[in-house]
Amino acid sequence: MVNEKQTKTIKKRYNRISGVFDLMDHMIRDEWRKTLLQEAYGETLEVGVGTGANLKYYNDHARVTGIDFSPKMLHKAQEKAGHLTGHFELMEMDAQNLKFNDNTFDTVVSTCVFCSVPDPIQGLKEIRRVTKPAGQIIMLEHMRSDVEWQGKIMDILNPIGLKIIGANINRRTMDNIEKAGLKVIRQEQLISSIMRRITLSPNKK
């Protein structure tokens, strides 16, 4: 059951920061986005598309549907899409309750999204549901450090980022991925264990 109150609060925070998001967000390097998105093909869903930072990196092999629950972030993405030639459809939608049929997408993309989704396991279950059995889920996600003392510091600092931006810095995303029934095919640590590039299978066979 999705926590409606928490969902409303996080959505409001992203609406609030949408105007300055591109100026303040430097967590993901452009080359990481570029490398990740070269792997997208076919019917592609980007969850938490935000202000559309990834859109320019998709190639012609991907027909992209981008969703976000923040209309103001989505508006920024729409502006960027207007300057691009690729196929983009952007929709307001909650990742915890996707309005797509099972087995719709060849590729699902997320970049720094599961730090914010109020119920990350529910969101991950939803992307598993809409990914075709032979499809792929590709991610750049930051998470709690595997080094325990660093993780503890992240636990202490977490309420600050959550209050200002709506993102958690101490999510145990690899555990959440397992709990959602997804299978890790590949993972690369980009900033120690904190920022990772991950390829998942929906593990439906």
Ligand X SMILES: C[S@@+](CC[C@H](N)C(=O)[O-])C[C@H]1O[C@@H](n2cnc3c(N)ncnc32)[C@H](O)[C@@H]1O
Length of the chain: 205
Strands 88-92 vs 105-111: parallel, antiparallel or unpaired? unpaired
Our CB check for ligand X shows the closer of 63 and 140 to be: 140
**Nearest Cα to Cα of residue 3 among 128, 142, 97:** 97
User: In sequence order, what are the residues at sequence separation of 6 or more whose Cβ sits closer than 8 angstroms to the Cβ of residue 185?
Assistant: 136, 199, 200, 201
Residue type, 189: Q
Which residue has tokens 């080094």? 147
User: Crossing angle, helix 71-82 and helix 4-17, to 10 degrees?
Assistant: 50
Taking CB atoms, the residue at the shortest distance from ligand X is: 50
CB of 205 to ligand X, least distance (A): 28
Residue number with CB closer to ligand X (16 or 132): 16
Task: Quote the least distance from Cβ 41 to ligand X, whole Å.
Answer: 19
Q: Which is nearer to ligand X, 135 or 166 (CB)?
A: 166
In degrees, rounded to 5, the angle at the alpha carbon of residue 98 between the alpha carbons of residues 93 and 102 is 150
- Footprint of ligand X (CB under 6 A): 10, 14, 25, 28, 48-50, 53, 67-70, 73, 94-96, 111-113, 116-117, 123, 167
Kind of pairing between the strands at 131-142 and 105-111: parallel
Handedness of CA 125, 71, 60, 197 (dihedral sign): negative
How near is the Cβ of 149 to ligand X at its closest, in Å? 25
Closest CB to ligand X among residues 162, 201: 162
Minimum separation from the CB atom of position 28 to ligand X (A)? 6
> How far apart (Å, rounded) are the C-alpha atoms in residues 164 and 48?
18
Q: Taking Cα atoms as reference points, which of 27, 11, 70, 54 lies closest to residue 45? A: 54
Considering the complex, state which of residue 167 and residue 195 has its C-beta at the smaller distance from ligand X: 167
119/133 with CB nearer ligand X: 119
Tell me the closest approach of the beta carbon of residue 104 to ligand X, in angstroms.
16
Q: How far is the CB of 110 from ligand X (least distance, A)?
A: 7
